[in-house]
Structure 1
């Protein structure tokens, strides 16, 4: 075989080998791939941050309960006064107004003497009808004094009930004008009249808080079925009871919460507080 033939044969072998080799990634393509990976990581982190948490927020009913992981918070769900994807009005309800963008901030804890030894009747008008509460200023004077003051200041007008739980714990949580579950009036106070056994009968009106026993503020919850709550940290202040409209709460709870957790999160059927009026109950 001549040298010319050997060179030709070697050239053919090289060409055949090149056909099976993947082309190298250009610098531009490599930059795009790296950027894509970085962008994907950023989006994942952003998604985790955006999911509203129940645990550790300003005013929460059960800090030891599972986090709600509400994919759509009430604040975003009703930011335009409409319904979020997956939401539907319960019978007899009207569309909720948008949550407050800039709720009132009150820095001074009201004097508990204004409620001590007295009983009050609260009338709460909502987008699903009227609820009535009887407030016990004898057993929970500080809490009731705060409730009276927030009603007077129209702090809750309007505000969505941002959380419903439907498994193990049966509550509708309200009182945050922002609808995020993290809003408070600007002051906090301690626990009063918490049951030592953690028993909260149906129709109980109690304060929501974080794991901090001094984090009571503006959020409260209604139990629509008998409920046992953790006693760690001192329990949750009972300051009254529902005397009318518990069937409304039942109706909201029956439709459960939005995905991804239908047992704990933003109600599928929204309900918002429109006004709160309180009068003293005379003997």
Structure 2
């Protein structure tokens, strides 16, 4: 299924119109002198409101985010609540090895593009390293973590976009047969693995069931056999750029990954752009491989440091 399928953006926020009267000139026949009046609306406090631009007003869509404390989170100030819902922009990522340009279609991922543009403007990515290279069946280079550990972020999280069959996911709840049983949430690991953390106080032999990332615990043949609603796999083609997350819906933050060879993944990671220039830089890092002892998933041998990120119209 084509992951570029367009999703329906949220309803645009209505903007208050600005009223500016044009210049009126009255030519006096006797002395060729003229008088000019300009009317500008003011708000209730008497503060002038800037004149509207000659172009059409930019349509905005509402964007939700939620606080999500992260180790070493970089403070970025007030998070935007709306973003442009149309047009194409370029995210220019300047690195120690050159410039990588990512084209983002704001009609398909308005909020993701908006939050990334906001973080770029806040210099959030400056000085960060692409901390993770995966070279197995999944072939990606992951960036965007100020801590370089895979656990860092901007202190907020937001919903995924532009995914097949994407719909708001209710908080999973155990079926009645799971009464009194602890549901342990799993965290997905690129490459098909899963990491779980058993709550303190729950013995390894305790009564609990593991919930797969992105799945919901449903009724079935008893809690230990609870069925899982799996996320479908889709192809992330070479050159795609997508958001990483914590394996749960609504946990996109600042981390993203470049796909340097076609890779199949669960449809859980927002595909927000494609590499227009600089793919050879990612190939160079991938060719260097992973540091010794990390197998096929670890820190790349060839360091890629993001110096700064800017946004401009395509």
**TM-score computed with the length of structure 2 as normaliser:** 0.54
Cα deviation, residue 194, structure 1:
2.3
Cα deviation, residue 168, structure 1:
0.4
Corresponding position of 1:274? 307
Corresponding position of 2:247? 211
Mapping of residues 76-225 of structure 1, within 5 Å: 104-106=74-76, 108-112=78-82, 114-195=83-164, 197-225=233-261
Q: Distance in 2 between matches of 1:214 and 1:107?
A: 20
- In the TM superposition, what whole-angstrom CA distance separates every residue of 1:141-177 from its partner, at most 9, and x where no partner exists? 1100001000000001110000011110010000011
Corresponding position of 2:281? 248
Q: Distance in 1 between matches of 2:78 and 2:109?
A: 18
From 251, 258, 270, give the equivalent of 2:291: 258
Q: Distance in 2 between matches of 1:253 and 1:154?
A: 26
Mapping of residues 45-56 of structure 1, within 5 Å: none
Q: Distance in 1 between matches of 2:91 and 2:160?
A: 21
Question: How well do the aligned residues superpose, as a CA RMSD in angstroms?
Answer: 1.7
Contact 2:75 2:155 in 1 (8 A): yes
| Structure that is richer in helix per residue | 1
| Structure that is richer in strand per residue | 2
Q: Distance in 1 between matches of 2:263 and 2:163?
A: 13
Tell me the matched-pair count. Answer: 177
Q: 1:186 to 1:107 in 2, by over 3 A?
A: farther
Mapping of residues 227-238 of structure 1, within 5 Å: 227-231=263-267, 235-238=268-271
Q: Distance in 2 between matches of 1:247 and 1:120?
A: 21
Q: Unaligned stretches of 5+ in structure 1?
A: 1-100
Contact 1:140 1:239 in 2 (8 A): yes
Q: Distance in 2 between matches of 1:181 and 1:107?
A: 22
Contact 1:256 1:262 in 2 (8 A): no
Runs of 4+ in 1 over 2 A off after TM superposition: 101-104, 106-112, 194-197
- In the TM superposition, what whole-angstrom CA distance separates every residue of 1:105-156 from its partner, at most 9, and x where no partner exists? 23644234x3311211111110111100101111111100001000000001
Larger Rg belongs to: 1
Q: Unaligned stretches of 5+ in structure 2?
A: 1-70, 165-231
